[in-house]
Amino acid sequence: MKLPQSLRLDLPAWIGLFCEQLPKMLESPEDRMAVAISLSRQNVIHDSGGPFGALVVEREAGKVIAVGVNRVEPANCSSAHAEIMALSLAQQALASWNLDGAGRGELELVTSCEPCAMCLGAIPWSGVRSVLCGATKTDAEAAGFDEGDRPEGWVECLAARGIAVTRSVQREQAARVLNQYARNGRTIYSP
């Protein structure tokens, strides 16, 4: 048996039109979160992955650098979370593994749900300087998702690394997507 020698993770086809319709700048945290929630909702509607969406934006200007949605099931890849997709695509777009040194000013990760244990681990090494979160770990777990073990003081841990975290931005709207996904009997992937 020949072992795999490459990995390719693609966003779904509908993302192209979605991005074309985005405003040039997303000025407020609410504008940014509305896009993350819309990504999560569209991913469910199009049956192209789990109910999570994320984007990376220039913190001051609000220019979108990359978007991501959960692709775990379609890609058969447990690490294809929305945050990982958005961060990885931003790094590709800016040709830098370190988003803090990519010459675009401070970058922000906007995610429809607080990071799970895996995505939390990726944030400090990505180079983003802030994170906006919609739904909470509790909301995701109430829908049935296993978010993993996350330190109680995770926000303070990121702050100690110079990464600001804002939680519960449009939490109710973000949690609604998770709840609808679960009520519709969709796959809740957990170990």
Residues 161-172, buried b or exposed e (16+ Cβ, 10 A)?
A: eebebeebbbbe
Given the residues 30, 73, 83, 114, the one annotated as active site: 83
Residues whose CB is less than 8 angstroms from the CB of residue 5 and which lie 6 or more positions away in sequence, other chains included: none
> Helices in 100-170 by DSSP H: which ranges?
117-126, 137-142, 154-160
Annotation marks residue 27 as catalytic: no
Task: Tell me the C-alpha distance between 66 and 55, whole Å.
Answer: 6
Alpha-carbon distance of 80 to 61, in angstroms, equals 28
Sign of CA dihedral 59, 137, 127, 17: negative
Distance CA 40, CA 101 (A): 29
Known catalytic residues are: 83
